[in-house]
């Protein structure tokens, strides 16, 4: 292929100089073309988009993953347009490409940023082989409502965990340098507050006070800006009455001025024109004006910029200098990606799809993501030498596609190893294995196979029950008002319980589920999320004790949906609930007088605690924590303190524990959460082994944004906990003194 038309400044020159030189040669129409991201996933893209590429009306395409077609689009752009500016090629590479890793929420359950980094790296290598150079990931919306379908795409409810995992993912996608083979530009989304949509309904309104915005929802995006993420994406939702795509306050005042972010901002899909639907603008022209002046640099899959920006500049409503700034940001990332030197993809320079590296990473991620929620009486692991027969029941035991989860446009179900396949591989002919699907899908009702499932379960030594929700039940626009097990799965559990056999439930789902109606009817629960390509082998290894569970919950599991929002870092309020203060409906006498004395913040019809707290996850061994201590009683602002604890493996298995550090600012100028995650570490210990786990805390780690919008470190008392979940009870204390 021919090389692109050269600019007067070579690759060795400063990127800013190259951008300025190229901008000086561009017409206004060509500049606006760089701000237009076109859908290319239909028909034959070179024929459909060819003329627009030749006249410079398109600067980026998305949803083209055929490398030959991508190269042809690049050829037209660089050889047949006036200035030869190469294209950004975008794709939703969310948790893998051909090889699929666990959904991001599952990946967060690994609490392993190194694994998140490696997972993003292997995904980038596969996507780059198809010609993709820009991914719309990671999604770093703090997500505290499991009804929201896109919680599956998040790293959960904690701003700290989300920041750490999001940063690692960006580093994996972008590599050491964007010019490196296989590096692709990342996109931090959705700016900002999308995870707080009302009632967990996608695209709905969000209302977030400024202090909460900065202390919680902004934190992962600040981390993304600091690590140099290639782009930001706006939110579909509004924030305090102003849609994200037209919100000058968050895009200019916060993102540009406060965070100092210099990369480009892309709208979400057609969200510029949707400003009219929100009721912020009257027509597409005003939508284009509002979005560009707010700080949007590229419009995705809409035509408001292409149809109206030229006129808006010629009328003087939008300054050309503002267009230059936006286009400069776009050109800068193209230079950083090395596209002007090498716009074409040679797939031979990249690893094969589903390489050993990719499959091993997917298996490790699945293994570390699975959370052992319950294990009554040591039901797990299954002892092969004591098993003669095993029943495998349920609609998700052998679904190669469903285990991949949401956002897997390019995932190959043919690569999936299902739990049923993997279990057969493990037991071979040593255990009689009988499988009954029982339900056509997770939403099915009681059918004839329930009787067969009960018969097979009754004849087995143990029952593996694969339940949950298909991938279509989570993800964008797939929100649920009721997050209990769909269909008649609860009845299936009840029928299995009647057999009197040990029941091990393996849950595959894209969100936390309310499991109160089945938790007492099963002996063990492995929560596997949607575990991806290698989910089956990971599940089988855990079931039979080849590996030990180590995953921890990145989101709280409510008892019932009415508890939502429920998350570990809530505020105390003036009347926090306790076992001494709560009253339950069944305990209230008829005609009892109305009173609020002694009452507290709880629901009459359920316990005030969650079913499973944030950070929860059991093991096949027992870890003990003791002697939590601080290295000093006091530190000054700018100082550092070490908080440590003794950790002992009391069991007979070598295993990994995710040690978690939480703090509380006891009294401050604004009320602070009851606990905040401040650090975590994976620690592997052999049987009987003890170690000291230490965390360093700088006073800045204990800072927060006050009512004036400024970050502050206030003197006062702090509590600190180290343990295996957010309800750890081993505590110490220290003070910050002025």
Residues catalogued as catalytic: 268
d(CA 588, CA 599): 13
Taking alpha carbons only, the member of 82, 23, 16, 78 closest to residue 333 is 16
Question: At CB < 8 A and 24+ separation, what contacts does 701-705 make?
Answer: 702/663, 702/665, 702/678, 702/736, 704/215, 704/665, 704/668, 704/670, 704/672, 705/211, 705/214, 705/215
Q: Encoding tokens for residue 65?
A: 């993953």
Q: Encoding tokens for residue 377?
A: 């009486």
User: CA dihedral defined by 141, 144, 146, 148, rounded to 10 degrees?
Assistant: -50
In Å, what is the CA distance from 691 to each residue of 166, 623, 626, 644, 645? 29, 11, 11, 10, 8
d(CA 401, CA 416): 7
Residue 262 in contact with residue 229, Cβ under 8 Å?
no
Beta strand ranges found along 313-442 (DSSP E): 371-375, 389-393, 432-436
Q: Encoding tokens for residue 735?
A: 């003070």
Taking 3-state DSSP, the helix, strand and coil percentages for the chain, each rounded to the nearest 5, stand at: 35, 20, 45
Strand 36-39 versus strand 60-62 pairing type: parallel
Q: Encoding tokens for residue 41?
A: 């996933």
383: helix, strand or coil: coil
Taking alpha carbons only, the member of 531, 488, 541, 518 closest to residue 399 is 531
698: helix, strand or coil: strand
For residue 587, what is the enclosing H or E element?
Answer: none
d(CA 692, CA 647): 6
Instruction: State the burial class of residue 10 (Cβ atoms within 10 Å of its Cβ: 0-12, 13-18, 19+).
Output: exposed
Could you say which DSSP state residue 618 is in?
B
Q: Which positions ≥6 away from 153 have C-beta within 8 Å?
A: 94, 103, 104, 105, 139, 406, 407, 475, 476
Give me the sign of the Cα torsion angle 475, 476, 477, 481. positive
Q: Encoding tokens for residue 490?
A: 């609860």
Instruction: State the burial class of residue 321 (Cβ atoms within 10 Å of its Cβ: 0-12, 13-18, 19+).
Output: exposed
d(CA 711, CA 699): 12
Opening angle at CA 618, ends 617 and 624, nearest 5: 110
Q: Which positions ≥6 away from 378 have C-beta within 8 Å?
A: none
Give the phi and the psi of residue 670 in degrees, each rounded to 5.
Answer: -130, 150
Give me the sign of the Cα torsion angle 301, 307, 310, 311. negative
In which order are the strands placed within the sheet that holds 389-393? Answer: 371-375, 524-527, 503-508, 462-468, 389-393, 432-436
Taking alpha carbons only, the member of 120, 324, 142 closest to residue 235 is 142
User: CA dihedral defined by 496, 499, 505, 507, rounded to 10 degrees?
Assistant: -10
Give the orientation angle of helix 15-24 with respect to helix 320-336, to 10 degrees: 130
328: helix, strand or coil: helix
d(CA 618, CA 621): 8
């Amino acid at each position: 292929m021919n090389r692109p038309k050269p600019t007067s400044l070579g690759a060795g020159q400063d990127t800013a100089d190259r951008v300025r030189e190229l901008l000086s040669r561009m017409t206004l129409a060509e500049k606006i073309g760089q701000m237009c991201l076109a859908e290319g996933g239909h028909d034959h893209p070179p024929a459909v988009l060819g003329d627009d590429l030749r006249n410079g009306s398109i600067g980026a395409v998305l949803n083209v993953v055929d490398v030959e077609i991508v190269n042809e689009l690049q050829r037209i752009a660089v050889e047949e347009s006036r200035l030869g500016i190469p294209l950004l090629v975008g794709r939703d590479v969310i948790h893998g490409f051909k090889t699929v890793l666990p959904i991001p929420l599952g990946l967060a359950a690994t609490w392993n940023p190194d694994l998140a980094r490696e997972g993003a790296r292997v995904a980038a290598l596969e996507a780059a082989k198809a010609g993709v150079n820009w991914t719309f990931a990671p999604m770093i919306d703090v997500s505290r409502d499991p009804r929201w379908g896109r919680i599956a795409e998040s790293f959960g409810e904690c701003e700290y965990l989300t920041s750490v995992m999001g940063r690692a993912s960006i580093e994996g996608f972008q590599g050491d340098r964007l010019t490196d083979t296989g590096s692709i530009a990342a996109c931090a989304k959705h700016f900002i507050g999308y995870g707080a949509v009302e009632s967990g309904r996608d695209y709905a309104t969000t209302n977030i006070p400024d202090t909460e915005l900065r202390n919680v929802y902004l934190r992962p995006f600040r981390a993304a800006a600091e690590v140099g993420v290639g782009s930001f994406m706006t939110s579909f939702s509004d924030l305090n009455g102003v849609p994200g795509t037209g919100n000058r306050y968050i895009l200019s005042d916060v993102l540009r001025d406060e965070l100092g972010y210099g990369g480009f901002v892309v709208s979400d899909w057609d969200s510029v024109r949707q400003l009219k639907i929100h009721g912020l603008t009257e027509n597409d022209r005003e939508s284009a004006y509002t979005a560009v002046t707010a700080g949007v640099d590229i419009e995705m899959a809409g035509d408001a910029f292409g149809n109206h920006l030229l006129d808006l500049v010629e009328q003087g409503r939008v300054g050309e200098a503002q267009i230059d700034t936006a286009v400069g940001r776009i050109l800068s990332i193209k230079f950083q990606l090395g596209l002007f030197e090498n716009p074409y993809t040679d797939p031979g320079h990249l690893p094969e799809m589903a390489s050993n590296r990719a499959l091993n990473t997917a298996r490790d991620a699945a293994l570390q993501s699975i959370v052992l929620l319950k294990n009554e009486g040591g039901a797990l692991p299954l002892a092969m030498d004591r098993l003669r027969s095993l029943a495998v029941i349920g609609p998700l035991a052998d679904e190669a596609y469903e285990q991949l989860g949401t956002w897997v446009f390019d995932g190959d179900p043919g690569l999936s190893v299902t739990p049923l396949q993997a279990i057969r591989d493990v037991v071979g002919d040593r255990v009689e294995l009988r499988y009954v699907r029982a339900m056509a899908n997770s939403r099915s009702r009681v059918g004839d196979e329930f009787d067969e499932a009960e018969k097979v379960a009754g004849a087995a030594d143990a029952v593996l029950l694969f339940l949950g929700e298909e991938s279509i039940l989570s993800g964008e626009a797939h929100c649920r008002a009721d997050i209990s097990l769909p269909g008649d799965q609860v009845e299936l559990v009840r029928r299995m319980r009647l057999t009197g056999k040990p029941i091990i439930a393996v849950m595959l789902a894209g969100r936390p589920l309310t499991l109160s109606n089945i938790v007492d009817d099963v002996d063990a629960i492995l929560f596997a999320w949607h575990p991806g390509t290698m989910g089956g082998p990971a599940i089988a290894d855990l079931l039979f004790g080849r590996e030990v569970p180590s995953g921890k919950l990145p989101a709280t599991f409510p008892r019932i949906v009415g508890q939502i929002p429920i998350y570990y870092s809530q505020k105390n309020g003036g009347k926090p609930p306790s076992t001494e203060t709560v009253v339950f409906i069944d305990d209230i006498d008829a005609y009892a007088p109305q009173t609020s004395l002694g009452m507290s913040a709880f629901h009459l019809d359920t316990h005030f605690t969650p079913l499973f707290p944030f950070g929860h996850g059991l093991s096949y061994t027992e870890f003990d924590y003791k002697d939590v201590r601080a290295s000093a009683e006091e530190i000054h602002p700018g100082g550092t303190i070490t908080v440590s604890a003794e950790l002992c493996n009391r069991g007979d298995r070598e295993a990994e524990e995710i040690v978690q550090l939480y703090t509380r600012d006891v009294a401050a100028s604004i009320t602070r959460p009851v606990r905040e995650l401040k650090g975590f570490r994976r620690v592997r210990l052999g049987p009987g082994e003890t170690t000291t786990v230490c965390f360093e805390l700088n006073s800045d780690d204990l800072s927060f944004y006050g009512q004036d919008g400024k970050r502050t470190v206030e003197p006062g008392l702090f509590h600190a906990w180290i343990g295996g979940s957010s309800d750890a009870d081993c505590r110490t204390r220290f003070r910050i003194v002025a």
